[in-house]
Each structure stands twice: as C-alpha cells, then as structure tokens.
Amino acid sequence: MTGLLVSVRSASEARIALAAGVDVIDVKEPNRGSLGAASTETIAEIVQVVGARLPVSAALGELLDWLPANAAQLPAGLTYAKFGLAGCAKEANWPDLWRAAAGSLPASVRPVAVVYADHLAACSPTAEAIVAAAESIGAAAVLVDTFDKRGGNLLSHWTIDQARWLIDQAQSRKWPSVLAGSLTADAIAPLLPLAPSLIAVRGAACAHHRTGEIDAARVGQLVRLVNSSGLFRSTARPAHFSHGPEKIS
C-alpha cells in the first residue's frame, strides 16, 4: 500500500505529522527551493523528536552547492538524504560528482535519486540518465519532484505513463518509488492506482503556501486519502522505506 511522506521544517511540524500518522518524515527548508536544506541543528532536532518511530529523510540542496565537509555534521538517526541535480546537465562529469557526494554521507545514511520532472527548467539530466546513473551511487530509492514550484504540479510536466515508467524502473531495481511535485489532493488521486511506495507533499499539508506552517487537519486528510490506495489492486507490491542501516550498492 502507498504511504505518505510529509516534508517538515521544524520539530513542532514533525510532531504534527507524527500525530497524523504519516509514514516518513522529510526535512527541508522550503524558503531555500525545491530541495532546500534545513540547518543541521534543525535536522538533528527533528531526528530526536521522531526517534525510531519512522524513517527520516533530509533534503541537502543541489549537488553543485554541496560541500562534502557538511556530511560530518549530519545527525545520527538520519536514514535517507537527497541532492537535486539542477544545473548538472551542463556538467559532463555530473555522475562522478554525484558519486562523490553520496560517498561523503555517513554509512547509515542512504542516498535517494531525485529526478526533476521539469528538467529543462532545472537544467538537470533526464530521468533516463539519472536512473541509469543511480545504481552507481548506491541509491536506495528514486523520487520525482518539480524544480520550479511556480510551473505547476507533477502532472503539468509528466503524463501518468511517465510516472508509471519511473515506478516500473524502481520496482525492477527493488527501490521504493516516491512521487512528489506540488501535489494537491486532486493530483494525488489519479496517481494512487500506480501504487508508488510513497506520495510526498509539503504545500498540500500547509494551510496556505508551502512556506507556511503545516496544518494538522490537512495532514490528516492526506493520510486518509493515501490510505485509500489500499482499495486499488497492483500487479506488483511496491518496495517500502525502512530503517535499515546498510547502504544499497
């Protein structure tokens, strides 16, 4: 059954998401972009609040801005981390840069491959190129998101068939698949029959804008919507996020 990932920016938001029954807590700072990195102090506070109850992932910003020395500051208890690949279409050696960044992460933190559906706006590699390179970084999951939050949601850039393709690619590699990208309830509904491992949201969980505070009632509604995916039949069971300590390589 598909689960729900909610991106939070503070320990108080993490408590709201936990109480609502989400499946994965993600940490990001929405004022810093699609995959804006929160401070290491904020990540540590959220990891402490969540404890061992759920996996915690963190956005670490764009790959081309990453400083490997920052990896040492990541808190114990973080399960997954992800870099955006904006600008990497202009870098011939982006797979090497990606491997180096993933290799700088603590052994207990597993990298998530991120595809930007609006890859032209992001100047990022294509979905096909990213999936092909993801195994070499030891990717533990694959996520599709949107880079420019002013440009519409995931379905403004991808068809249902493209989303299905990514899920199929993930399942063939035994990776969890995550669908994100300014998803509203109306956009989530047609994606649920595809049986992704997770639906990921930020803006839909907020009372106003993605840079506002998340709202308990909205998160609860999203949990119920995503839980309805159990009504759909899938030919393959999606992989699930876990707390496992090993990197997949």
Domain extents in the chain: 3-231
Strands (E) across the chain are located at: 3-8, 24-27, 56-62, 80-84, 110-116, 141-145, 177-179, 198-201
Q: Which of 82, 90, 149, 247 is catalytic?
A: 82
Report how far Cα 244 is from the mean position of its chain's Cα atoms. 17
Residue-level pLDDT at 235: 37
70 φ, ψ to 5°?
Answer: -65, -20
Per-residue b/e over 96-115, b at no fewer than 16 CB within 10 Å?
ebbbebbebbeeebbbbbbb
State the CB neighbour count (10 A cutoff) for residue 165.
15
Give the C-alpha distances (Å, rounded to integers) separating 244 from 123, 136, 140, 188, 241. Answer: 33, 19, 10, 28, 9
Distance CA 213, CA 211 (A): 7
The tokens describing 35, both together, are 């995959």
- Which residue in the list 28, 90, 174, 247 is annotated as catalytic? 28
Q: Which fold has domain 3-231?
A: TIM Barrel (3.20.20)
> What is the predicted pLDDT for the residue at 107?
95
> Catalytic: 90?
no
Q: Confirm whether 28 is a catalytic residue.
A: yes
CA distance 196 to 176: 8
The tens-digit pLDDT sequence of the chain (249 residues) is 899 999 999 999 999 999 999 999 999 999 999 999 999 999 999 999 999 999 999 999 999 999 999 999 999 999 999 999 999 999 999 999 999 999 999 999 999 999 999 999 999 999 999 999 999 999 999 999 999 999 999 999 999 999 999 999 999 999 999 999 999 999 999 999 999 999 999 999 998 888 889 999 999 999 999 998 775 434 343 456 665 433 322
pTM: 0.93
Whole-angstrom Cα distance, residue 234 to residue 237? 7
Residue 143 contacts residue 113 (beta carbons within 8 Å): yes
Query: What is the end-to-end Cα distance of the chain in Å, rounded?
Result: 25
